[in-house]
A and B are shown apart, each in its own frame.
Chain A
Amino acid sequence: MLEEELKSRFAHYAAARIPGARNMKITQMSRIHGGASRQTYSIDLAYDDAHGPQTRGVILRRDPPDSLIDTERRVEFAAIQSAYGQYGIPVPEAMFLETSSDALGAPFFVMGRIEGGEPLNPFKMDAIEPHREAVGRQFFQHLGAIAALPVSGSALTREIDTPTPDACWKRELTYWTNEIRRNAKTPQPVAEAAIRHLERNPPPPAQRLSIVHGDYRTGNYLHDGNGKINAILDWEMAHIGDPYEDLAWATDLLWCGNDMERAAGFLPWPDAIRTWQSASGCVFDPAAFEWWSLFSHIKALGIWVTSEKAFADGANDDPILAWSGWFTHAAHELMLAMRLGQKYGVDL
């Protein structure tokens, strides 16, 4: 669908959904780069209602022909609803969800736009200076707060199942193993060795069941340039599981330019863990974290081989998918090989 047509159809849709709105116009619409899992548009609405002229910024997340991650937009929508207004977690308002293709040619959802934020490129972490410590503290505070969100009765539990604490690791490992085996274009000896290692050495049961964001990392939040995180985005992989999954993913070396000294490229590890423990109410167990940290690399490889397949098969020609299938796959394969090789007595 051409953008002009999309604009016109979305204006019609918004006029019908916003109570009392008349003379609906879209004054600006631009596609945001990088969201290969959804086509993401920033839209300015202008309309009249009983109180006079109104303007509103919204974000439209529309399903692409193929995406990085095969997820239900219902889950992402429900995850945002589950976190909205809770524990100071900066999450946009979930506004409308459409699971049919009637209105815009593909399923989509709409959320409020949080103004004044910019993403941070994980390959350019130094751009956060001089606010590294302040942003880092909020990064781990919000991460812990997500782990502390009530699971029972949340919107998310109405969309997906809740595993038992001892089943979290197995469910995630099985899912991503299947993704790798189904989508990899070439044999994956490092991933296969890692999968066997993780199966032989399982972690303890989850100390609590949490809402897991699923992709909490630098690149998926907005900051205001003055040391404040003002939006946590990209909830499409949210699920119920072990809170270590998010902590391990958030501190994966790919998302902080390989900064081994600071957790997620922000804070000394003890500070980061203290902040996360305090906000989550969880207790840090290094052995369990190690399992989930290795698992993060497997999950990443699952995403990257799926990206590569989508690009190679022509289902989606966004270059970011080729990048993911090449550079980031190589990076995670290298991390996994070097970490696991050491466990088997090899140190190059």
Chain B
Amino acid sequence: MTDIGMVLGRLGTKLVTEVAPKLEGDYSGGHAAMAGLMSVMAGEAWDGAADRLFTEIGEIRSLLQQGGMAVDVPESPSLKVSDLTKERDFLALNLIALQASVETREDEAAKMLNAQIWVHLMKTAQARMPSPPVFPDAEG
């Protein structure tokens, strides 16, 4: 079984549309519905996770370079999501420091760099946003 996104999506749909309605009225019904919705989300996120992190890492490194900030964050030893996440998190800490410093300056170069940081933050937030959940109607 190689298409993990598909498997998670189908499992989630099963939980939401078949299992949860049968548990209606029991506390575990709510758990089943939430687990199903998140399984669908996980299926969607799985396919793009490494690509999203790779993009974030490249953009942050570029912004830090533009800001003249020397960073001592080693490149990820693999393309595992866990390794990429670690690299992205270290870089993000540097980005926070860079933006805080840029915001204290009034010159045009600083304003432009700050705007570029915002472009990155907005695009990243868009990319991280899962598709809206489809809540099934309650069945009897």
Q: Do A and B come from one complex?
A: yes
Which A residues fall within an 8 A CB radius of B?
30-34, 121, 123-124, 186-187, 189-190, 192-193, 196, 318-320, 322-323, 326-327, 330-331, 333-334, 336-338, 340-341, 344-346, 348
- The reply to whether A318 and B31 contact each other, CB–CB distance below 8 Å, is yes
Q: Is B130 an interface residue (CB 8 A)?
A: yes
Residue in B25, B34, B41, B92 whose beta carbon sits within 8 Å of that of A189 in the complex:
B92
- The reply to whether A189 and B95 contact each other, CB–CB distance below 8 Å, is yes
Which B residues fall within an 8 A CB radius of A?
25-27, 29-31, 34-35, 37-38, 41, 85, 89, 92-93, 95-96, 99-100, 103, 111, 114-115, 118-119, 121-126, 128-130, 132-133, 135
- The reply to whether A341 and B133 contact each other, CB–CB distance below 8 Å, is no
- The reply to whether B100 and A196 contact each other, CB–CB distance below 8 Å, is yes
- The reply to whether A344 and B35 contact each other, CB–CB distance below 8 Å, is no
- The reply to whether A192 and B115 contact each other, CB–CB distance below 8 Å, is no
Given A330-B130, A331-B129, A333-B128, A33-B122 contact (CB < 8 Å) = no
Bound-state CA distance A322–B43 (Å) is 15
What DSSP secondary structure best describes chain A's contact surface? Answer: helix
- Kindly provide the distance from the CB of A314 to the nearest chain B CB, expressed in whole angstroms: 16
- Kindly provide the distance from the CB of A300 to the nearest chain B CB, expressed in whole angstroms: 14
Given A30-B25, A186-B85, A330-B128 contact (CB < 8 Å) = yes
Bound-state CA distance A340–B100 (Å) is 14
- The reply to whether A334 and B92 contact each other, CB–CB distance below 8 Å, is no
- The reply to whether A186 and B92 contact each other, CB–CB distance below 8 Å, is yes
28 residue pairs A–B, Cβ–Cβ below 8 Å = A30-B25, A30-B26, A33-B31, A123-B133, A123-B135, A186-B89, A187-B89, A187-B96, A189-B95, A189-B99, A189-B121, A193-B121, A196-B100, A318-B31, A320-B30, A322-B34, A323-B34, A327-B130, A330-B128, A334-B126, A334-B129, A337-B121, A338-B125, A340-B118, A341-B118, A341-B122, A345-B115, A348-B119
Residues of A within 8 A of B95 (CB): 187, 189
Residues of B within 8 A of A344 (CB): 111, 114-115, 118
Given A330-B128, A330-B130, A348-B126, A341-B38 contact (CB < 8 Å) = no
- Kindly provide the distance from the CB of B11 to the nearest chain A CB, expressed in whole angstroms: 14
- The reply to whether A190 and B125 contact each other, CB–CB distance below 8 Å, is yes
Residues of A within 8 A of B121 (CB): 189-190, 193, 337, 341
- Kindly provide the distance from the CB of B66 to the nearest chain A CB, expressed in whole angstroms: 16
- The reply to whether B27 and A31 contact each other, CB–CB distance below 8 Å, is yes
Bound-state CA distance A315–B25 (Å) is 25
- Kindly provide the distance from the CB of B62 to the nearest chain A CB, expressed in whole angstroms: 15
Bound-state CA distance A164–B119 (Å) is 38
Residues of B within 8 A of A334 (CB): 125-126, 128-129
Residues of B within 8 A of A336 (CB): 125
Given A319-B35, A330-B130, A192-B122 contact (CB < 8 Å) = no
Given A30-B25, A30-B27, A319-B38, A337-B122 contact (CB < 8 Å) = yes
Residues of B within 8 A of A189 (CB): 92, 95-96, 99, 121
Residue in B31, B92, B122 whose beta carbon sits within 8 Å of that of A187 in the complex:
B92
Bound-state CA distance A326–B130 (Å) is 9
Bound-state CA distance A345–B112 (Å) is 9
Residues of A within 8 A of B31 (CB): 33, 318-319
- The reply to whether A323 and B27 contact each other, CB–CB distance below 8 Å, is no
- Kindly provide the distance from the CB of A256 to the nearest chain B CB, expressed in whole angstroms: 13
Residue of B nearest to A323 (CB): B34
Residues of B within 8 A of A331 (CB): 129
Residue of A nearest to B99 (CB): A193
